[in-house]
């Protein structure tokens, strides 16, 4: 451990990204948890469906980068609450398309401004060029991690 009490883990990029992601997710989640009784995985599913429209559960799992069991649980809860519905997939008779119901869309439309306001507050200490650079770097890290996962040098 260093004199500040931090070990090597504190400077390890994957750890820093995970901790930062959890802190931001928890902050946003707290703002909608009380009002809408949504957990983080449930909101992530709703956020993706709100932006993308309808998609299969497999595509939703890929889009959220969450474990398929967590997505399955979140979808089940959202279906039970009447926020997500399944529809026949005309492109594939073996799968269903998931989409927000009218109530799900209404909640999405209420939560998104809260999430965007929180994002704005989080980034308010950064100049616009720093904000753009942060987004570019995060995209580059995500893309490189995907390449590495596919075995690309």
Render pLDDT for 24-66 as a digit per residue (tens, 0 to 9): 888 888 877 878 889 889 999 999 999 999 999 999 999 988 9
- Of all residues in the chain, the percent with pLDDT exceeding 70 is 96
Residue 119 phi/psi, 5-degree rounding, is: -60, -45
State the pLDDT confidence band at 140, using cuts at 50, 70 and 90: very high
- Any idea which architecture 8-149 has in CATH? Orthogonal Bundle (1.10)
* pLDDT for position 1: 41
Q: What is the pTM of this model?
A: 0.79
Give dist(CA 67, CA 49) in Å, integer. 17
Where exactly are the structural domains of the chain?
8-149
* pLDDT for position 124: 95
What average pLDDT is seen over the chain? 89
């Amino acid at each position: 451990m260093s004199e500040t009490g931090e070990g090597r883990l504190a400077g390890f990029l994957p750890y820093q990204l995970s901790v930062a992601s959890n802190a931001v997710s928890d902050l946003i989640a707290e703002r909608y948890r009380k009002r809408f009784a949504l957990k983080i995985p449930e909101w992530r599913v709703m956020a993706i469906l709100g932006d993308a429209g309808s998609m299969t559960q497999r595509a939703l799992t890929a889009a959220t980068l969450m474990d398929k069991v967590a997505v399955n649980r979140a979808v089940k809860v959202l279906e039970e609450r009447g926020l997500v519905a399944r529809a026949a997939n005309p492109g594939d008779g073996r799968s269903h398309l998931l989409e927000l119901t009218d109530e799900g869309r209404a909640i999405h439309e209420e939560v998104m401004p809260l999430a965007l306001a929180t994002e704005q507050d989080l980034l308010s200490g950064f100049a616009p060029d720093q904000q753009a650079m942060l987004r570019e770097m995060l995209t580059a890290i995500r893309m490189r991690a995907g390449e590495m996962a596919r075995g690309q040098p």
